[in-house]
Amino acid sequence: MDRALKEIIRNDCFDRLRSELGDSFSEQIRSRVSAVAGDVTSEMLGLDDAGLDELSTCDTVVHSAAAVSFDSPLDQAVEINLLGPSRVAAAVTEARTRAEADGRTGPSHMIAVSTCYVASTFQGEAREHLLGENRFDVAVDWRHEVTAARRLRDDLEAESRRSPIQDEVTKRARRELGAAGSHVVAIRAEKLREEWVRQQLVDAGTTRSRALGWPDAYPYTKALGERALVEAHGPKSTAPLPISIVRPSIIESAVSEPTPGWIRGFRMAEPIIVSYARGLLREFPGVPEGIVDVIPVDMVVADILVVAAHGPEPEEVAVYQVASGVRNPLRYGRLVELVQAWFTERPLYDDQGQPISVPAWSFPGRGRVQRQLKRATAGIDAVEKILTSLPLRGKRAALSSDLEERSVMAKRALGYVELYGSYTETEARYRIDRTLALFDALDDDDKILFACDPATIDWDRYVSEIHLPSIVRHARVRTAPGTQVMADRQERGRKAVLAPERQLAVFDLENTLMASNVVDTFAWFASRHLPKGARASFIAELLRDGPQLLALDRRDRGDFLRTFYLRYEGAPVEQLRADSWELFAEQLLLRSYPEGIARVREHRRLGHRTLLITGALDVVIEPFAPLFDDVICAKLGQVDGRFTGRMEELPPIGEARANVLEEYAETHGLRLADSVAYADSASDLALLEAVGFPVAVNPEARLATIARRRGWLVEHWDRAKGGASRSLPLGRFDEARPGAPWRQIGGSPR
């Protein structure tokens, strides 16, 4: 009941009733509504004895639960749409039996809500008949379809766990996440495997549906659901149940009740119209003379109530269609004209606050639009793949993220064309003779209250004054000009991470607080005491090893650090410790991001605990340490005052950072849900996911894409302007303080 109150009764559908009843609203609902936990994918709906007893007190049962998406996985659509009505009927029959045993009547009428499109792509007028009464209906055994769908799910699950599918999803996960850590990659690979299974089931449903004359799995499973219901519980069954079937066409915004434009749940036309208004969908297949059979949701509800009041037909399963195409047709060409005119006068605005000009919508064939979108998608994906492989960061990496977003939009548009194209081209006309007969039998007052005659709809007014305003209100699109869209979003993100209630702020160092890395700092240390003559050999060695180091770093950050720090073998500890302050002054300070340093200070000012987690050496970060409450970094072993090149303890890398962070928060009594993390690389994904407020700083291409998908705050911090800049990160040789060279260049000790 609590869930019903939260998810249903709070809906704005009840605003008027809530206003009229005031403080007694909740009490009235609880006294008149009983919520029973059930599941249409379970036999007897999973109801216990108490639930079945509750059901036995009902007079009329309306079954409208469905998987309404046109791209539902086949097995899901079968369990909900095909078998769901029969399971409801079985539970109703059991409830009637219980009521009759107690001398009561029990449920006397079941109304199953289906769809007009069970008539498939039938050309001409589709009457209110049960399936099988038309000469062109395909005779198919629904039981075999159920068995095949369930078997297909099992087969695909098994196939997805074997090569080549398992190998491919793992490779794709690695491409997306880089060196984020084996467990993080494995989690992503498993999700991709599940997505593959789901998509295969979607494709299988579409293929099977079209082979039998339906455009997709929704009307196909609804049609077989009708057949299964009538066969098992209709007049000719062993335990007949009084049944009526209501078939709406495309359900859209209410024309008047509870308020004009109201609707909740699936909207078929919304994604197409919004995509057009945003400039995404420039063409869509369809026939201008064709009919878009739309029916307002309140007319569907009114028809269900009228059918309930009329009761079942004796010895017959009555079918009532609720559609507008025959009685009051809305032409596809006219709909396009109204939409184009409306968004020309009231354009949406992009993220830069600029108005989006809608195109003149043509009516090409479906094949042409599909080919155009497939070519565009393939081209964008190719460029995106190249950019992702490049070491881009910050605003440059955002190019890859932008391309990925365009690719998603193009694929979404292609999906709309493939899913909805057949509905814009259908030539079926759904007669509503039974529905009109019920409506005509009402008295005048009821005709006003329960208006279900589509002839009363003024389509121009409905589209322009009711439906389109409703779509824009609920689509979360920008409808006002201005250049501060992204800035406002960024500012809201900053306010969230700097809220006083935050408890911990965790920072990466390299490329997060400064534009430097372990290779740069090593180059500075190693060249600091090299005479000029030896520097050329040193630079050549470093450049030669560069590609190999980069590849190792991308593959496994831990292996990279272990391998790279071997270069410090023999380095004098005290000399490097003294040099670290010159490194800080000459290179790190100049390469640091003032905004990042200011952010650390701001967190401390607000009383947040600050933690630095980095793979840099302790001697490197020593000047930074006073900024933080705690520091976790790399430390090298020492023998006789020189570094061994081997780390005493590997600093937390990848997913290990999340584990360390969790232990740190537990030790200090901090909540990670109220904590912030700043990092620049996809290898830090586990760290960012561990906190409630992740921030991607100057992100590389992979992380930029992930951050955009998840709506994370992205910061672009720059180095201070005006400072001296060195093309190579080499230490300045001081003849007055030559020090002791400790590197071997070209095999000779220096």
SS3 431: coil
How far from the centroid of its chain's Cα atoms is residue 267's Cα? 17
Structure tokens at 619: 């001697």
Predicted local distance difference test score (pLDDT) of residue 323 = 93
Lowest mean pLDDT among 170-179, 305-314, 411-420, 569-578: 411-420
Predicted local distance difference test score (pLDDT) of residue 747 = 39
State how far the Cα of 216 lies from the Cα of 729, in Å rounded to an integer.
61
Give the single-character DSSP code of 324: S
SS (H, E, C) 649-665: ECCCCCHHHHHHHHHHH
Give the single-character DSSP code of 44: G
Radius of gyration of the chain, Cα coordinates, nearest whole angstrom? 33
Element spanning 56, H or E: none
Checking if the pLDDT of 460 tops 50, the result is: yes
In 3D, which of 589, 591, 579 has the Cα closest to residue 624? Answer: 589
State how far the Cα of 651 lies from the Cα of 617, in Å rounded to an integer.
9
Which range, 150-159, 345-354, 401-410, 468-477, is most confident? 150-159
Distances (CA, A) of 604 to 153, 497, 666, 667: 53, 13, 20, 19
State how far the Cα of 91 lies from the Cα of 55, in Å rounded to an integer.
8
Cβ count within 10 A of residue 239: 12
- What percent of the chain is predicted at pLDDT more than 90? 39
- Overall size of the chain counted in residues: 750
Would you tell me which CATH number, out of the four given (2.60.120.920, 3.30.460.10, 3.40.50.1000, 3.80.30.10), belongs to the domain 492-733? 3.40.50.1000
At 671, the pLDDT band (50, 70, 90 cuts) reads very high
In 3D, which of 300, 206, 229 has the Cα closest to residue 308? Answer: 300
Predicted local distance difference test score (pLDDT) of residue 404 = 61
Q: Using CB atoms within 10 A of its CB, is residue 447 exposed (0-12), middle (13-18) or buried (19+)?
A: middle
State how far the Cα of 427 lies from the Cα of 407, in Å rounded to an integer.
33
Lowest mean pLDDT among 89-93, 155-159, 166-170, 452-456: 452-456
Checking if the pLDDT of 521 tops 60, the result is: yes
Predicted local distance difference test score (pLDDT) of residue 488 = 66
Predicted local distance difference test score (pLDDT) of residue 416 = 64
* Strands (E) located in 471-608: 504-507
In 3D, which of 663, 215, 671 has the Cα closest to residue 423? Answer: 215
At 412, the pLDDT band (50, 70, 90 cuts) reads low
Q: Using CB atoms within 10 A of its CB, is residue 285 exposed (0-12), middle (13-18) or buried (19+)?
A: buried
What are the residue boundaries of the structural domains of the chain, listed by start? 1-35, 265-294+329-481, 492-733
In this predicted model, which residue has the larger pLDDT, 393 or 598? 598
| Residue matched to tokens 């009843």 | 21
* Mean pLDDT of the region 125-131: 86
* Mean pLDDT of the region 552-565: 76
Number of H helices, E strands in the chain: 30, 17
Predicted local distance difference test score (pLDDT) of residue 713 = 92
What is the per-residue pLDDT across 231-249, written as a single tens digit (0 to 9) for each? 999 998 888 999 999 999 9
SS3 717: coil
In this predicted model, which residue has the larger pLDDT, 480 or 347? 347
Predicted local distance difference test score (pLDDT) of residue 744 = 46
State how far the Cα of 247 lies from the Cα of 319, in Å rounded to an integer.
7
At 386, the pLDDT band (50, 70, 90 cuts) reads low
* Mean pLDDT of the region 648-668: 87
Predicted local distance difference test score (pLDDT) of residue 196 = 95
* Mean pLDDT of the region 153-167: 95
Report the interhelical angle of 165-177 vs 182-211 (nearest 10°): 130
Q: CB–CB of 284/276 below 8 Å? A: yes
Checking if the pLDDT of 387 tops 80, the result is: no
Structure tokens at 551: 């590849």
Predicted local distance difference test score (pLDDT) of residue 700 = 85
For residue 252, list its beta bridge partners.
Answer: 296
Checking if the pLDDT of 437 tops 80, the result is: yes
Structure tokens at 345: 């006068």
Which range, 110-119, 482-491, 544-553, is most confident? 110-119
Q: Are strands 630-639 and 675-679 parallel, antiparallel or unpaired?
A: unpaired
> Which residues are within 8 A (CB) of 65 and not within 5 positions of it... i.e. 6 or more apart?
40, 80, 84
Element spanning 613, H or E: strand 609-617
Checking if the pLDDT of 736 tops 60, the result is: no
Checking if the pLDDT of 559 tops 80, the result is: no
Predicted local distance difference test score (pLDDT) of residue 360 = 78
Checking if the pLDDT of 709 tops 60, the result is: yes
Which range, 165-174, 418-427, 728-737, is most confident? 165-174
* Mean pLDDT of the region 443-460: 91
* Mean pLDDT of the region 419-429: 70
Checking if the pLDDT of 274 tops 90, the result is: no
In this predicted model, which residue has the larger pLDDT, 572 or 280? 572
Checking if the pLDDT of 370 tops 70, the result is: no
In 3D, which of 624, 623, 646, 625 has the Cα closest to residue 634? Answer: 646
Predicted local distance difference test score (pLDDT) of residue 499 = 93
What is the per-residue pLDDT across 167-226, written as a single tens digit (0 to 9) for each? 999 998 988 887 777 888 899 999 999 999 999 999 999 899 988 888 889 899 999 999
State how far the Cα of 329 lies from the Cα of 427, in Å rounded to an integer.
12
Predicted local distance difference test score (pLDDT) of residue 56 = 93
In this predicted model, which residue has the larger pLDDT, 32 or 551? 32
State how far the Cα of 397 lies from the Cα of 204, in Å rounded to an integer.
37
Checking if the pLDDT of 680 tops 50, the result is: yes
482 Ramachandran zone, left/alpha/beta (phi>0; psi -120 to 50): left
Checking if the pLDDT of 748 tops 50, the result is: no
Average pLDDT, the chain: 84
In 3D, which of 499, 487, 509 has the Cα closest to residue 676? Answer: 499
Predicted local distance difference test score (pLDDT) of residue 9 = 87
